[in-house]
Amino acid sequence: MTDRVTNKWACLAIACLATLLLSLDLTVLHLALPRLTADLGASSTQLLWIGDVYGFALAGLLVTMGNLGDRVGRKRLLLIGAAAFGVASAVTAYAPSPELLIAARALLGVAGATIMPSTLSIVRNVFTEPGERTAAVGIWSAMSAAGFAVGPVVGGLLLDHYWWGSVFLLNVPVMLLVLAGGLVLLPESRNPRAGRLDPLSAGLSVVGVVALVHAVKEAAHDGLAQPDVPAAGAAGVLLLGWFARRQTRLAEPLIDVRLFARRAFSASILTNLLAIFAMSAMMLMFAWYLQLVLGWSPLQAGLAQLPGGLSGAVGGVLAARLIRPLGRGGVVALGLAMNAVSFLYYTTLGAELNYLTLLPAMVVGGVGVGFAFTVNNDNVLATAPRERAGAAAAVSETAFELGAALGIAVLGTVLTSVYRTNLDLPAALGGPAGDTARESLAGAARTAAVLPPGQAEALMAAAREAFLTGVHVTSLVTSGVLALVAVLALVGLRGVPKEIPEEALTRA
């Protein structure tokens, strides 16, 4: 009995290690972009593909890979994905050209799509007792949050001493540990009654999700006026509608759409999507605020954000203990309300900062993130049959990706629009230089770098003031969205059992 319990927690450790690495990889790319752009001579179009292709492959393939794991075995798919991730990381680190780097990043996305749902579905199948399962999901969520927090710090340290590829080469030894531990310790699990994978459904889900994510990202980059934005968005919606309709007619669908009739499932998916939509604004704002307004280095900015991410890990661990006194809806609503309060504080940020006054808001918001995402992820896994855990985890992860893309597009547009409206350029600055400065705070910094000192100082003072106004407005909007989502969670998850056992699946 003791060995079985030990193996159970060892399985969780392997799943958490893989999840930690995926979170790290998502954060270090942004730090490495300036260096790799200079070294490889990437064009602006290539730079967009380097940043976006990973997300396209990941989001598009999550549903298919989650179902594939249910059919061929979650352990097998996780190990294949881990091996592919390690190889793709090495190719990325030593890529001699932008084209090869884009191809390697695409392979990383494919591999990531096999790993993400596999880790959660393994947790679901190993931990069958409700209380233990919730605690395990909390630890899994904590490791994901820790990865987002530690990523900028690790990336900053490596980039201070080594070339840009070192941040990707870090993945290789960690994936070797996942492979070695997984081969020995992970049990195999699959859906014993799984039918054949429907190729048309897989194609519809991949193309539909990629088209929708592409439309959102293009809108964020270039605005809604771009001709391919409405076409891609409409195609994505139509294809995903066709996909959903087809699932109702298949004996073994990729997604059992009847799950959405269960409030614990549908309300958790929706609140997760809306929550990450709102909170993606924080990642966008802080990256620019700390470096371009306060003038901090990437390493300093990463260290400054570390307490927020680590407190998210703490919230993930504590969430299970709050379910009994507060209920599932109460814990999610509390977490989202804590985030709403933290964003209200961000409306007071200025051109100078006393970090000790920022710290409490970051910690409160981080703990709230841990509360909300842990309970919602557990709700999704608990209300889906164990044999379809991979498919359920994939739906949750896809909602996360879509929410993040939508948040950056919509709230990023709010931030940029307020910046442009409030930017008061110096009278002597016009033409192409003025247009570049109006694009963003980063554009203003590039323009200022080639101006005489007096003009540069005047431009950056105006740009910082306009950007801070954008931060204040965006933070206020985000706080309002989070408050509304907190109410939605409280209503949508009302009546969901505090412990969701197997026999509650049909009525949860």
Question: What CATH number is associated with residue 2?
Answer: 1.20.1250.20
The answer to whether residues 158 and 121 belong to one domain is yes
492/507 Cα distance (integer angstroms): 15
290/288 Cα distance (integer angstroms): 6
458 is a domain residue: yes
The answer to whether residues 193 and 319 belong to one domain is no
The answer to whether residues 164 and 272 belong to one domain is no
181 is a domain residue: yes
Residue 34, pLDDT score:
66
Let me know the angle formed at the C-alpha of 462 by 457 and 464, rounded to the nearest 5 degrees. Answer: 95
| The last residue of a domain, from among 236, 253, 270 | 253
Four-residue CA torsion sign, 439, 444, 447, 452? positive
| The last residue of a domain, from among 253, 282, 317 | 253
0.75 exceeded by the pTM?
yes
Residue 502, pLDDT score:
52
136 is a domain residue: no
Domain that holds residue 236: 206-253
Residue 331, pLDDT score:
92
The answer to whether residues 263 and 362 belong to one domain is yes
223/257 Cα distance (integer angstroms): 33
313 is a domain residue: yes
Q: Which residue type, as a one-letter code, is found at position 187?
A: P
Q: Which residue type, as a one-letter code, is found at position 360?
A: P
Q: Which residue type, as a one-letter code, is found at position 186?
A: L
C-alpha radius of gyration, the chain, whole number: 23
Residue 1, pLDDT score:
39
Residue 393's nearest CA partner among 125, 107, 131, 5 is 125
Residues of the chain with pLDDT under 50: 1-6, 503-508
139 is a domain residue: no
Q: Does an H or E element contain 112, and which?
A: helix 98-126
137 is a domain residue: no
134 is a domain residue: no
> Could you tell me the two tokens for 7?
């193996």
The answer to whether residues 330 and 474 belong to one domain is yes
Q: For residue 148, give Cα distances in angstroms to 19, 75, 91, 460, 472.
A: 10, 25, 23, 30, 24
Q: Which residue type, as a one-letter code, is found at position 453?
A: P
Residue 261, pLDDT score:
79
The answer to whether residues 173 and 44 belong to one domain is yes
The answer to whether residues 56 and 157 belong to one domain is yes
The answer to whether residues 287 and 190 belong to one domain is no
Domain count for the chain:
3
The answer to whether residues 322 and 434 belong to one domain is yes
Residue 4's nearest CA partner among 119, 132, 130 is 132
| The last residue of a domain, from among 233, 253, 273 | 253
142 is a domain residue: no
Residue 353, pLDDT score:
87
75/382 Cα distance (integer angstroms): 20
- Which contacts qualify for 319-325: CB closer than 8 Å, 24 or more apart? 319/134, 319/138, 319/141, 319/370, 319/371, 319/374, 319/375, 320/131, 320/134, 320/135, 320/138, 320/374, 322/371, 323/134, 323/375, 323/498, 323/499, 324/498
Residue 506, pLDDT score:
40
> Could you tell me the two tokens for 294?
């306060």
Residue 508, pLDDT score:
38
223/413 Cα distance (integer angstroms): 8
The answer to whether residues 19 and 46 belong to one domain is yes
